[in-house]
Structure 1
């Protein structure tokens, strides 16, 4: 397919390839270490070739402004993909809140997708989130978002750097991540707080009972029981969170496009 790309339009194809590749560097699921780097490049090359014959390609020449466009394409892909990852990171933040109350904060595990430490409950919930996204073909919607970005941000259009609205938008999305994480952790953290209050009352009324020995397994049992009961509720939250992620990506691309 690439043999049909003429030398005159090769700069345009390179711009498309840079944007798609930049998306896959930070976009959830596609950016994880489980996917080999050569596969990421191959998928990016294939998608860039498809998009080349689909979107409107302007005549471009390699000059000083062309390198600015290259930097713009990389910035768009990295920023939008990173924003999507930040929204999904609310799952692990909520898991960190829960683990801290359960006493699991000292037992972090290595996340095979990112290679960094993550809380136990957070990793469990994040794995369920990824499986949910794959089950509803959410990765197809992410690829569709990459293609949709060319309708909002033309290939030869620069980002309005002087417009500070997109900076405020990213900060608001970052704040929204902590709000979502807090709301997801409230049911279990609230129950564990009541357990702490009950243990405090027991420690004052029955001093012979060692609450430090009883408290940890009791809090773990209560947290896991509430987690099982509230799992349906969490699936609904994950569904809303995924919709929020797609809307946030679209909103940022609209601001990049000057709308």
Structure 2
């Protein structure tokens, strides 16, 4: 009996560990993609510690995981499933910031400031436009003003309720995620239409002026005026940024809720 006691205790500890292991994998994968949590200013150690602390807090309240050996092939597949679902959920939460990244790029191109770049390794690119950095700073303040970090924790908890461990990734959820990507571009187009139209009108006026008076140097005249008009349009549209951000966040949470309910119904 004494020889089997250590083996019994080791098995018991392993069963207790799997209660926290799979939630930890999902939460850490989500933090690697979620807005602000994936920022380079937040080191990997802090991200892992936050995921570990959140796992300890939520572990006792989560549904009981399936009785699967973590070290078996089925346990490895379940771990990869949690990582994939955490990445999918984190990308969904990142979509609102992606919308304004597209908006910043479009506005910069229309203003002729596409060459004004800023080092941006967060989004997987070498640089991003200065206009997007302006939107990003404002989005950070809006994110914390609506307790976005607590919303992310709530979404993580609800994901374990509606999509428990071992339920699998279904085709309908992937389809909904692809539709959400299309929603990003449609939302960015709708927000940038007023600015794009005004900038196109300004460029059309300079083109007409060039036809009337070809001797005028429109490069030295039109470039600064285009930038000034673009900055004026940004100043005019900035008061609508909180409403647009809240509306897009509600739409995003509705999409995430739809995906979670699909996982429960399948």
TM-score (norm 2): 0.88
Match of 2:135 in 1: 125
Which moves more between the two structures, 5-14 or 40-49? 5-14
After TM superposition, the structure 1 = structure 2 runs for residues 1-259 of structure 1, keeping only pairs within 5 Å, are 6-58=13-65, 60-62=67-69, 63-111=72-120, 113-114=122-123, 116=125, 117-160=127-170, 164-259=171-266
Shift in alpha-carbon separation, 1:58–1:120, aligned structure 2, 3 A: closer
Distance in 2, matches of 1:175 and 1:219, equals 30
Cα distance per residue 1:102-156 (max 9 Å; x no partner): 0111121112644631111122112211210111111110111101111111123
Cα distance per residue 1:188-245 (max 9 Å; x no partner): 1111111011111211222232111111100111111111111112221112122222
Distance in 2, matches of 1:166 and 1:11, equals 25
Gaps of 5+ in 2: 1-11
Which moves more between the two structures, 228-237 or 189-198? 228-237
Root-mean-square deviation (CA), in Å?
1.8
Shift in alpha-carbon separation, 1:168–1:59, aligned structure 2, 3 A: closer
Distance in 2, matches of 1:215 and 1:155, equals 59
1:111/1:118 contact within 8 Å kept: yes
State the 1:59 CA deviation. 5.4
Distance in 2, matches of 1:258 and 1:68, equals 22
1:184/1:234 contact within 8 Å kept: no
Distance in 1, matches of 2:65 and 2:225, equals 65
Structure 1 or 2, whichever has the larger Rg, is 2
For the residue of structure 2 that corresponds to 1:8, the secondary structure is helix
2:63/2:161 contact within 8 Å kept: no
1:72/1:158 contact within 8 Å kept: yes
Distance in 2, matches of 1:48 and 1:249, equals 21
Match of 2:6 in 1: none
Gaps of 5+ in 1: none
